[in-house]
Every structure is written in structure tokens, then in C-alpha cells.
Amino acid sequence: MANLSLLLARHRYCSARGNCLIDCHLILTHSTLIKLFTRHNLLSSGDYSQARVLPAMNESRVLSFLKDLIATNSENPPGREDCVAKVIRNHLEAYGISCISVGPSKRPNLIFSSHEGEKGNLVLHGHMDTVPIGDPNNWKHDPFGAEIQGGLLYGRGACDMKGPVSAIVETLILYTEEKHEKPLLVLTTSDEESGCSGAEEVAKSGRLSGVKFGVCAEPTDLQVLVGEKGIFWFKVIAEGKSAHGSRPEEGINAIKKCIDAIEAISFKPFPHEIDELLGIPTLNIGMIEGGIKVNVVPAHCEAQLDIRTVKGQTPDSLTDLMNERLNSAGLSDRVRIEYIHGKPAVSTAQDSDIVRVASDEIKRVLGTYPSLSAATYGTDCSVLQPKVGITNVICGPGSIEQAHQPDEFIKLEQLFHSVDIYLGIARFFDQ
């Protein structure tokens, strides 16, 4: 059907503005017909089965491509995203879709467009790297085998996020075949799992400047996340004085100083703006290391802490507050705070077009509106939203509960539904 230049359409529809019935006898181009259906809510009113004149998703193509992605190891570290990028490039080039590569050749970030070299209003994005598989003995299924059992596909990256990447790639193929007027972009990034450095490269390149909306396809069980907490990783470094373990009074115990410092900086909540979806900030003491031997008073200790931030909090403001608390506790002469890594909290207004359209498309496909919430974890949105100006939602197949776990899986039904949802969103932004 996508190869036909003209379609004869006869369909009664209700005008959303005038509430009048119009009997259409029109000869339309393919893209014009789809825009007409979308404008009069046929693609978002549950009546999609009557309006659909487009080629159906090729489920076997999606599965074959996903199996190739999972078979291509991209554990981070070291990443090896160039191997995954080659699989994606070759797959899309077979359908006449080329890409622009941004960043190092070994850790590329690929930008594909339905209209070669052109930018539109919408980008669908996901990352190519995965976390390591860990101990392979903990896996019942081959982590690189993409085994299917009981409607589930297993493998490292099945939901986080090679499954979602296969969905946005299939969406781009279908959208391109429909020959729309406005371009649709797909972005696949490197190194998301270790700090979003790939998204940083894309932001610096300016290649996405002017793109208004984005869908991050991270696994959400096809619910809609309209924001995410920020990240502030830092060290608490304490310096003491060594002494013999039998004479601790002659030394200064750096481990004790470090513990006292952590208690001093976290004994009461950090100020923040109230946000019902982002909630409150959290703090986790992730690592602590100090001392050289059990019978020596430790002269040095370091702890690494992770604060998940919300609105009104920045690394600078938090560091200043913690230094004030250290000073008040009389610890600032022996303890210092050292920044490791940070990303801001981001949020999208619930009445934004991208939230409304994504919710409508989920309702069309699944029959119920999604819940709106926010992510406690970080995504590439933490870069693309503040540094490029893209207003994002996070919505993808698979469950975050499966991410980073042995026997990670994705439900195939969700995977296929996500293509339908993404395509509906893309069609709306072609209006």
C-alpha cells in the first residue's frame, strides 16, 4: 500500500470543531490521507481499524533485528557501541535510510532521518550500550541468545534498551514508507549507562537544535514518565593521623571523621521545591574505603555518595550547603567534599503536546490512559532536555524492574504495541 501514489478514500467522519458529518469522496496522496484521518481524530479515537490504510508492522522483521542487536555484545564497560551501530546502520540502509554519526568512531551516536539530512519536530531516542551480564551462572537463558519463551524474549538489553531501540527503528521504517511531509528523527546513543556522554556529544554538535519534542524509549511498561530525578555523585574525603592500633588516642581516625561528616551533612533534609511527581530527594552511601590494616589508626578515608535530586537543587547549591554543615560541626579542617558527576532533574508540563499525544496514542492502542509519573533514575533526557531544548516524555516497552537483572526480558506484545504507539505519535507531529 505504501508504494501507491494515490488512494481513493471514501469515509464518513465527524469534524472535531463543527461536529458536522461530511461525506468524503476524495482522491488523496498517502500522507494527506493520514493527516486528514489524524486531524479528525480517527487515529486517536479508537476507530483506527477503519482508518488504517498503511502497511502493517512487520513483526518478524522486528524480531530478527532485535535478535541481531542482542547478539551484538555492548556491555559497558567498555561499550563497543560501534558494533551495534553497524547493525542498526546496515538494517536501515536496506530501506534507504542513512545516518549522521556524531562522536568518536568507536562510540558513535547515530541520527537517522526519514528525510535525509533534515530535522523535524520529533525525535525518538534510545541507547545502544548495556550494563554487564555479571556472573553468567546466574542466567538461565543465554544473555546474547534472544531466546523466546511464553511470549517473552530474553537477553541482555532486551528491555534496556535494545528492545525499545528495535521498536523506534521499525517506526522509522514505516513512517518513511508512508512518505510524510515532515521528517521523523531517530537517535541512538553510546555510553548512556555510564553518564550519558553520548548524549552530551550530540548536544554539543548542534545536530538536534530546533527539534521540539522527544520520546525516550526507556522501559516504562508503556506508561508515561514526565520527568526524572537528577543525579549528584560526590566524595566525602577525610584526612586523619595514623597511630598504632593499641594507642588510638595518639592518632586521628579518618574513618570516624568520615562517618561523622556523613551524619553532619545528611542529618536533616536538603531544601527543595515541592513536586508531586518527582517526590523528595534521596541519599545513598554507595562506597566507603579507608585504612590499611586492622591494627593501624586510619589516616585516610573516602566515601562515595549518591543524591537523587529534584527541582531547586544543583551540585553547587548542595555542595555549599554541605560545606556549611561541615563547618558548623567543626569538621571542615579534616573533611572535604569532591564532585564526581551530576545531571539536573528534568520535568515536562503535564499539559504539554507530547504528553497529551502520547497519552492519547496509548489509550488508542491499549484501551486505557496511562498513569503519569517520574523516573527515579537518569536517562539521556537529562542532557537533551536542558542542553538542546527538547521537551521529552519517557515511554517504552518492557519493565524497569527487569533492567540490569539476570534473565532480563521484554514482553513481545508490549514491543509490538510500542511501534503502533510511536507511529501514531509521529503521525500527529506531521500535521
Within a domain: 174: yes
Q: What is the grid cell recorded at 384?
A: 537533551
Which band of pLDDT confidence, cut at 50, 70 and 90, is reported for residue 431? confident
Number of domains within the chain:
3
- 287/390 same-domain check: no
User: Do residue 300 and residue 354 come from a single domain?
Assistant: no
Q: What is the CATH number of the domain that holds 297?
A: 3.30.70.360
Q: Are residues 69 and 171 in the same domain?
A: yes
Q: Evaluate whether residue 2 is within a structural domain.
A: no
288 within some domain: yes
State the cell numbers at 310: 529534584
Tally of CB atoms within 10 A around 331: 21
Burial per residue of 115-129, b for 16 or more beta-carbon CB atoms within 10 angstroms, e otherwise: beeebbbbbbbbbbb
140 and 47 assigned to the same domain: no
Amino acid at 150: G
Assess whether 74 and 193 both reside in one domain: yes
Of the chain, the percentage scoring pLDDT greater than 70 comes to: 87
CATH of the domain at 82: 3.40.630.10
Residues 90 and 218 reside in one and the same domain: yes
pLDDT band, residue 9 (cuts 50/70/90): very low
The neighbour count for residue 136, using CB atoms within 10 Å, is 10
Position 1 in a domain: no
CA distance 163 to 83: 16
Q: Are strands 409-411 and 152-154 parallel, antiparallel or unpaired?
A: antiparallel
Domain ranges, residue 326: 230-343
Last residue of a domain, one of 291, 315, 343: 343
Q: What is the pLDDT of residue 26?
A: 38
Considering the domain architecture, whether residues 210 and 274 belong to the same structural domain is answered as no
Judge whether 31 and 41 are in contact, CB under 8 Å: no
Q: Which of 343, 364, 385 is the last residue of a domain?
A: 343
Residues 103 and 218 grouped into a single domain: yes
Q: Is the dihedral of CA 171, 173, 179, 181 positive or negative?
A: positive
Strands 335-343 and 230-239, by their bridges, are antiparallel
> Do 30 and 139 belong together in one domain?
no
Q: Say whether the peptide bond before residue 386 is cis (omega within 30 degrees of 0).
A: no
Q: What is the pLDDT of residue 281?
A: 95
**Are 98 and 210 members of one domain?**
yes
3-state secondary structure of 212: coil
Give the CA angle between residues 55, 61, 67 to the nearest 5°.
155
The mean pLDDT value of the chain amounts to: 89
- pLDDT value at 5 more than 60: no
- The residue written with cell numbers 593521623 in the block is 241
For residue 1, pLDDT beyond 80: no
In a domain, 27, yes or no: yes
210 and 358 in a common domain: yes
In order of 30, 89, 198, 408, the CA distances from 129 in angstroms are 37, 15, 10, 15
As annotated, the active-site residues are: 129, 192
CA-to-CA distance for 359 and 371, rounded, in angstroms?
Answer: 9
- Cα separation, 121 vs 353, whole angstroms: 12
How many other CB atoms sit within 10 Å of the CB of residue 405?
16
pLDDT, average across residues 64-85: 98
> Is the Cβ–Cβ distance between 18 and 44 less than 8 Å?
no
Percentage of the chain lying above the pLDDT 90 cut: 84
Looking at residues 273-280, what average pLDDT do you find? 92
Question: What would the grid cell of residue 106 be?
Answer: 568507536
In this structure, are residues 135 and 225 in contact, taking their beta carbons and an 8 Å threshold?
Answer: no
Q: Are residues 305 and 320 in the same domain?
A: yes
Instruction: State the amino acid at position 320 in one-letter form.
Output: D
